[in-house]
A and B are shown apart, each in its own frame.
Chain A
């Protein structure tokens, strides 16, 4: 991208404050990696000062040693991915429902699918997508180490045709 939009130029300032920089990806997308303790002020700037209010979703990634939590924001042609890395040994993150109330269901989904605990989410003890009888010793489904056969066997479902 040769020319950054006004939003992104202003965003660079806040990224510097948070000790990180913006990596432009293809076609109007940019990636910002933030650490946990700088995340809330950074998102506060995004929502209140730059009026980037629309959170599209929160994506979870299995990156080997860490789990990536990507908050996808959108405003006027710019898609901004804000990525937070949490270690697999301690998968906890602070919830952002007091900044963006619409994030509540997305955080519940990540809890079910990746096992990340969002501290501060009001519905964090409820399951969203998984059945109530999900065995407690079965790891969360979307991790690379959980195999589909494992899930089928534990839940008592028939094996699908190969």
Chain B
């Protein structure tokens, strides 16, 4: 009798696991389907960079995307500091190529939204991406958060909020977090005016610090074609 019960429990667990695995694959697939509707887009917006040592104004930006994985973030005018991991702000790029394994990492909450967590492991050993974690809103099949760890450029985190372009999986607001290194010029090199105020460095540790870029995209032009020259 006990043997039979154990047998039934094991069978149920296996079926449950299979069901769950299919479910997360389906969720990722549904999120991807929305993104796949977009062949190219041009988006206008504003980027506010929040890095301790950078005192730079809000930039008016244009974001261009073209399949399979071309992305360009341009400042409309003036000098702009564009975070190097900005490529990852386009979720289509995460799925470029199917060469990854999806692992179900359970559930979580992002800004009071119940989400399912999927981990994408690249099968290609030479891929720059080490691991991507996707937090997917199962109700709308939208990726609300992603965390990508790369070999070369540290870890990037994206938080997305969606509006009128949700059907294409394109966010209105992106909060892009990335690691920054300390910026330290040798004293005396700049012959500064000592105005009596001085900043004491918060920490002297070599640990990476966090930088943030808040991107608000107000207007998308989708699938109208974009010249390759834009990406040069």
Instruction: Please determine whether chains A and B interact with each other in the same assembly.
Output: no
